[in-house]
Amino acid sequence: MRFFIVDDDRGVRSMLADLIEDEALGEIVGEAEDGSQVDYEWLNLKKIDILLIDLLMPVRDGIQTVREIAPHFTGKIIMISQIETKDMIGEAYSLGIEYYIAKPINRLEVLAVIRKVEERLRLQKSIHTIQKTLQVLDFSQPQARLEPAYSEPGIVAAGRSLLSELGMLGESGSKDLLHLLERLYQYDMQNDMPHAFPPLKDLFRSAAVKQLGADAAETEISKEIKAAEQRVRRAILHTLNHVASLGLTDYSNPKFENYASKYFEFTEVRKKMLELQHAAEPALSPTRINTKKFVQVLYLEAKRLMH
């Protein structure tokens, strides 16, 4: 089984992860500290079987998150919370969660609930397999098209996966980056030169026109382009800080080794690491953010994930 844990308390996330791994219940595919960082397309892309999610979180709580993802998420949801009001629990169940576990976490209760959900998942998969077999054997009936168990990964879903890995999915600029990936993919499909990369300004303009509509005034489009460029730059700067922090904690961290040189100019990563290490004021020369390089690498990595 593949698990994803969402809780703003790092201790709770660690406790749940240790429990799942110690009891060999499955694999922890990822964690998040807020519901705003959870996306059903990403969960389906990673083939998450069980989502463990807290109710109270600072930006988007568990109820809002479940309401957003439940209609599309192909796995099962277990909610964990200190709140035990009947109305809240009732609403959670009405949205489609499997179980509601009260905090403080009881090891035996969590184990029992997870095993029940695992058994239900196995039963559903067995029924699905039997139905497919019967459908194949019934030659007298026309074959109905079977829906895939998980949604087909597209460029946006792959992009979300990468942004989550980079720790920037919750940033406002992440939506703009996904719009750019979408525009790039369309450009790729219409262009005979597979390695061609259009000017970044054209991508921002195309994304702005799509968002505002073809009838939008030029002043509005220009304003949106500038705003989107600023949001993207802030999101990339946030990720640069995240990557530099990883390097300070563990220079051999696989994520640091992969992201530092791939998405950024390493001189800028090193400069940021020195600032964080010495708690220094930002350098006199401003941090150089190579937005075009970041978008190019993000797009190529997203395309690789799709195949």
CB-count burial class (<10 Å; 0-12, 13-18, 19+) for 3: buried
As a whole-number percent, the residues of the chain with pLDDT over 90 amount to 31
- The pLDDT of residue 105 is 86
- The pLDDT of residue 83 is 75
Looking at every residue in the chain, the average pLDDT score rounds to 83
| Residue 176: Cβ within 10 Å count | 24
- The pLDDT of residue 307 is 61
- The pLDDT of residue 149 is 38
| CA-wise closest residue to 52 among 95, 84, 12 | 12
| Residue 125: Cβ within 10 Å count | 12
- The pLDDT of residue 102 is 85
Maximum pairwise Cα distance, the chain: 77
Measured between alpha carbons, how far is 303 from 298 in angstroms, rounded to an integer? Answer: 9
pLDDT in tens, the chain (307 residues): 899 999 999 999 999 999 999 999 999 999 999 999 998 888 988 999 999 999 989 899 999 999 989 888 989 999 998 876 777 788 888 888 988 888 888 888 899 899 988 888 887 776 666 666 665 555 454 544 444 333 334 788 888 888 888 888 778 888 899 989 988 888 877 766 555 678 889 999 988 988 888 888 999 999 999 999 999 999 999 889 888 888 888 878 777 888 888 898 888 888 888 888 776 555 545 678 889 999 999 998 888 877 6
CATH of span 2-118: 3.40.50.2300
Q: Is the pTM of this model over 0.95?
A: no
| CA-wise closest residue to 78 among 47, 58, 102 | 102
List the chain domain ranges.
Answer: 2-118, 155-306
Residues in the chain: 307
Cα dihedral sign, 212-216-219-225 = positive
pLDDT digits (tens, 9 = 90+) for 54-108: 998 989 999 999 998 988 898 999 999 887 677 778 888 888 898 888 888 888 8
Instruction: Tell me if residue 1 falls in helix, strand or coil.
Output: coil
DSSP 237-302: HHHHHHHHHHHHH-TT-HHHHHHHHHHS-HHHHHHHHHHHHTTPPPPSSPPP--HHHHHHHHHHHH
Instruction: Tell me if residue 150 falls in helix, strand or coil.
Output: coil
| Residue 126: Cβ within 10 Å count | 10
Q: Are 76 and 47 in contact (CB under 8 A)?
A: no
Which residues on adjacent β-strands are paired with residue 28?
Answer: 3
- What stretches of the chain adopt beta strand conformation (E)? 2-6, 27-32, 50-54, 76-81, 99-102
Measured between alpha carbons, how far is 139 from 137 in angstroms, rounded to an integer? Answer: 6
Cα dihedral sign, 272-244-268-163 = negative
Amino acid identity of residue 284, one-letter, is L
Which residues on adjacent β-strands are paired with residue 217?
Answer: none
Q: Cis link prior to 104 (omega < 30° from 0)?
A: yes
